[in-house]
Structure 1
Amino acid sequence: MRIGVPREAAADQRLVAATPKTVEQLIKLGYTVAVENDAGARASITDQAYLDAGAELVESSQVWQSDIVITVDAPDLAAVASMNKGATLISRLYPDDAPDFVVAAKEQGITALNLMSVPRISRAQALDVLSSMSNVSGYRGIIEAAEAYAGMFAGQVTAAGSTPPARVFVIGAGVAGLAALGAAGSLGADVRAYDVRSDVAEQIESMGATFVRVDAAAQESADGYASELTDEQEAATMRVYAAESAAADVVVSTALIRGKAPITITAEMVANMKPGSVIVDLAASSGGNCELTEPGKKIVTDNGVTIIGYTDLPGRMPKHTSQLYGTNIVNLLKLMTPEKDGELAVDLEDVIVRGITVTHESSVLWPPPPVQVSAAPAVAPASNPGTQATPEPAVSSPSQNKGRGRLVSAAIAALLLVAAITFSAPAFAMHFTVFVLAVIIGFYVINGVSHALHTPLMAQTNAISGIILVGALLQLGSTDWLVTALAFAAATVASINIFGGFLVTGRMLEMFRKDA
């Protein structure tokens, strides 16, 4: 089958749906690739680069005659009508806002796959376009803020004096928010962040930022998004936004609830901000989180606050954004081309494929069925106020019985340990005391390490296991059978830990290794 890559119709769209690197990957899947002339010109990708990657260059009318057409933005109705019957379109579609497009795709018998509705499950992360675009938006938002801010992000200590670091406050710790706080932190700013989901605090703190805590916080809903706030929660968060924005030099807002942008920064909050401070509204394309945001524009308020409401932040970095977008499509086609024979298989039993399919075989399959992506327990149904619950007899649960059993076992073990120390040689008591102290210290040291550092920590444990292995090998020649047995057991366990650690580390590094 042939994949067509047209030049984007919108004059301000600088992205392209495939790059030379992703073209090579598509060809490895068995497809042929046809690229429209100058399709990548706005992303600084030459036609020759596509030819070198194995693609063929065609005219606009020919590219739409391909078996599969991949685009960044949804094509117009004329382009849909020019596609072959039964062809496949892969793009960022908005079916709810474009019913005419859905009708046209259905009548043409097109299989329309919407990259904006990828289910939020672990298996689909590699083809999640929203995450890719949000990541770029968060990074680029900080770049725009650094350009508009009148000072430096990093604190400076010079012979002429010192300057404090810029204070950056990030609202929302989704993909865009984490990318923004990471970029701001790398520039040396003092970063603080808040999210209505309290369970993301660890992610924020693992990146070196300070999580602003609030008593009232919302929870993640079953579909992976933040749930609606109650009046009490909303009042608490607005107090946080007011206090933090007044003290911040840069505010980055990324809040979205089910695709809608709630107001997080009111006009009154903007009036209380310092002159020269900057607001980057990453939700501007959905209306904006700031009450004064003008989508697509950068404005300066009467009190000197710059509000950036650009809606094309990913397009301002077209080279790498196109690569990320193209890779998302490659990963989707890997899923839908299991035999790597260049034949697309539309398996509607697959939750990912079903979730992104808008039309197929002249049928409308939108909206898709809901997907349960959260492991949060279901809320227990409320009891009927008209009935009175009958009290159940107190019965010990299995967990309670198990807890008592553990307590008894621990007490017996403690008594045996005291007896062993009492009637053993003094040297044993000294060595055992050192052992117990080492266990306690090791437990608290390892337990206090952030999850973000567990991979380098594995290298340290490998080194410790290596020391244990050397010590065990030295004792294997002992004439005491007990010492020899313990040394053999220690050598075996340490070897398993060392080789297992290297195996796990190797597999983790493979995740970050670029394709050859």
Structure 2
Amino acid sequence: MRIAVLTETDPIEPRVAAVPETVKKFIGLGSDVVVQSGAGAKAGVPDGEYEAAGAKIAGSADEALSGADLVLKVRRPNAEELGKIQKGATVIAIMDPYGHEDELKAAAEAGVNTFAMELMPRITRAQVMDVLSSQANLAGYRAVVDGAAEYGRSLPMMMTAAGTVPAARIFIMGVGVAGLQAIATARRMGAVVTATDVRPATKEQVESLGAKFVAVEDDEFKQAETSGGYAKEMSAEYQKKQAELVKGHIAKQDIVITTALIPGRPAPKLVSEEMVASMKPGSVLVDLAVERGGNVAGAKAGEIVTVGNGVKIVGHVNVPGRLAATASSLYARNLYAFVETLIDKESKALAVQWDDELVKATNLTRDGQVVHPNFQPKA
């Protein structure tokens, strides 16, 4: 079996889908691995390290894709790449299918079988394949680092001969994987940390990390979680009550980090213009949901906006990619763990078990059709 690893074409994507560690493992499974020249450059992996691991270096995407049975990417292949992938080949990537039904249809029409790593079910055997968690962990860490850099003041309390410097106050909105890592990072850096989430189970997690939990804890709050562990969309009445609570709290904060996302929907608006205006000059908001419309009013994807009262709104895109080497290493391991389940150990070829729960959850296109029930064309 021939595996192709491509250079990402999106200018904001520095990550790569394989690292020398996983290349060796793929070769150990009997696969030939071809890496497009420069694929790992932005993630700190030169071509020579791939060659040392046993991969062949291809001078172009055309060369890398020639005869490839399996294509590994970080982002969904664009139209040009699709045209170069042989019919019947399999592509595994972060496919970002919501709102991109036309691109899925194009992949199906090209005869390419596609799998979306971000749709991996949250079950025990799939934990090692969970790209959302591996990348969100890094995003949560980086959000605190970026927030601290823009804040321009120290985070921990410091007692000096010249006087005492108070600890910075950091508020985390949304306590998923990114939020928990942001709490842990902010606490390690000495800040006073508070956090909020609509899911009751997060209260204990927040408090176990040494932060204070802030939420309206009514009956709706007690049932605000799906069976898959995701946040439910809350009623307008609850959102109003929570907004009032947050409004008073947020005015006292130095750094606010928002992480709230609902799969398949625009990011919920958590911080209004009025709340931003209530913050002290020099305060910082970091919006990790900016690529999905943002949690913060006034946030702009790819920009750091300073509003009238001197508050900064940080809207970096692809935050895990700001730690490209680490993010690539984790993503590559997630990919390998999944691909290993698709390879027959005797024939050393792809042998997808189409009724496997991991396959059914992630398979988007197959045999010329969009097969995932969430993205099939409506009759």
TM-score range, shorter chain: over 0.9
CA distance in 2 between counterparts of 1:79 and 1:290 reads 35
The C-alpha deviation readout for 1:431-481, integer Å capped at 9, x for no partner, is xxxxxxxxxxxxxxxxxxxxxxxxxxxxxxxxxxxxxxxxxxxxxxxxxxx
- 1:320 aligns with 326
Structure 1 equivalent of residue 142 of structure 2: 140
The CA RMSD over aligned residues, in Å, is 1.6
- Name 1:303's counterpart in structure 2: 309
Higher deviation after alignment, 165-174 or 13-22:
13-22
Q: Does 1:274 align with 2:269?
A: no
CA distance in 2, matches of 1:140, 1:219: 28
Kindly report which structure 2 residues correspond to 1:165-314, keeping only aligned pairs within 5 A, or say none. 165-216=167-218, 217=221, 218-258=223-263, 259-314=265-320
TM-score normalised over the length of structure 1: 0.69
Is the CA contact (8 Å cut-off) linking 1:355 and 1:368 kept in structure 2? no
- Residue equivalent to 2:90: 88
1:299-340 CA-to-partner distances (Å, cap 9, x unmatched) read 111111110011121111111011111111011112222527
Q: 3-state DSSP class of the match of 2:251?
A: helix
Distance 1:77 1:365 in 2: 20
What secondary structure does 2:201 align onto? helix
| 1:134-183: CA deviation from partner (whole Å, max 9, x where unpaired) | 11111111111010113111111122221111110000110110111111
* Counterpart residue type for residue 277 of structure 1: S
Check whether the contact 2:19–2:329 (CA below 8 A) recurs between aligned residues. yes
**Counterpart position of 1:149:** 151
Mapped contact 1:156–1:164 kept (Cα < 8 A): yes
Contact 2:287–2:314 (CA<8 Å) still a contact in 1? yes
- 1:260 is displaced (CA, Å) by 2.5
- Give the Cα–Cα distance (whole angstroms) in 2 for the partners of residues 321 and 260 of structure 1: 24
- Rounded Cα–Cα distance in structure 2 between residues aligned with 1:290 and 1:63: 42
| Structure having the larger proportion of residues in helix | 1
Higher mean C-alpha displacement, 123-132 vs 339-348: 339-348
Change (3 A) 1:99 1:67: same
Q: Distance in 1 between matches of 2:318 and 2:370?
A: 30
- Judged with a 3 Å threshold, the aligned counterparts in structure 2 of structure 1 residues 154 and 341 are, in CA distance, closer, same or farther, namely farther
- 1:163 equivalent in structure 2: 165
Residue number in structure 1 paired with 2:13: 13
Matched residue, 2:49: 49
Q: Contact conserved, 1:38 with 1:46, CA < 8 A, in 2? A: yes
Q: Is the 8 A contact 1:246 1:269 kept in 2?
A: yes
Report the CA distance between 1:96 and its aligned residue: 4.0
Q: How many angstroms does 1:354 deviate by?
A: 0.8
Cα distance 1:341–1:325, how it changes in 2: closer, same or farther (>3 A)? Answer: farther
Residue type of the alignment partner of 1:293:
A
Question: Aligned to 1:74, which of 73, 76, 82?
Answer: 76
Taking the aligned partners of 1:8 and 1:106, their CA distance within structure 2 comes to 21
What SS does the aligned partner of 2:149 have?
helix
**Is 2:360–2:372's contact at 8 Å kept on the other side of the alignment?**
no
Shift in alpha-carbon separation, 1:163–1:102, aligned structure 2, 3 A: same
SS in 2 for 1:16: coil
- Aligned counterparts, 1:437-456, within 5 A: none
In 2, Cα distance between equivalents of 1:339 and 1:192: 49
Per the alignment, residue 105 of structure 2 pairs with 103
Q: Which residue identity is paired with 1:112?
A: T
Kindly indicate whether the alpha-carbon contact (under 8 Å) linking 1:31 and 1:341 is maintained by their aligned counterparts in 2. no
Unpaired runs of at least 5, structure 2: none
Q: Which residue identity is paired with 2:294?
A: G
Q: Computing the radius of gyration over CA atoms, which structure comes out larger, 1 or 2?
A: 1
What CA distance in whole angstroms lies between the structure 2 residues aligned with 1:95 and 1:160?
56
Is the CA contact 1:285–1:295 (under 8 Å) kept in the aligned structure 2? yes
Number of paired residues? 369
| TM-superposed deviation, 1:341 | 5.4
Per-residue deviation at 1:215? 2.3
Structure 2 contact 224–234 (Cα < 8 Å) conserved: no
Q: Residue 242 of structure 1: SS of its match in structure 2?
A: helix
Deviation digits for residues 103-132 of structure 1, max 9, x if unmatched? 332233221111121122232221121112
Contact 1:347–1:354 (Cα < 8 Å) also in 2: no
What corresponds to 1:62 in structure 2? 63
SS in 1 for 2:334: helix
Shift of 1:362: 2.2
**Does structure 2 conserve the Cα–Cα contact (< 8 Å) formed by 1:7 and 1:40?**
yes
Q: 1: distance between equivalents of 2:169 and 2:98?
A: 40
In structure 2, what residue type is equivalent to 1:287?
G
Amino acid in structure 2 at the alignment position of 1:118: M
Q: How far off its partner does 1:51 sit?
A: 0.8
Residue from 118, 121, 124 that aligns with 2:123: 121
Deviations 1:219-277 (A, max 9, x none): 21133311121233212211222122111111001112234211110000111111111
Instruction: List structure 1 runs of 4+ shifted beyond 3 angstroms.
Output: none
328, 334, 341: which one pairs with 1:335?
341
Aligned-pair distance for 1:40? 0.8
Instruction: Say which SS state the counterpart of residue 330 (structure 1) adopts.
Output: helix
Q: In 1, Cα distance between the equivalents of 2:276 and 2:59? A: 50
Matches within 5 A, 1:383-422: none
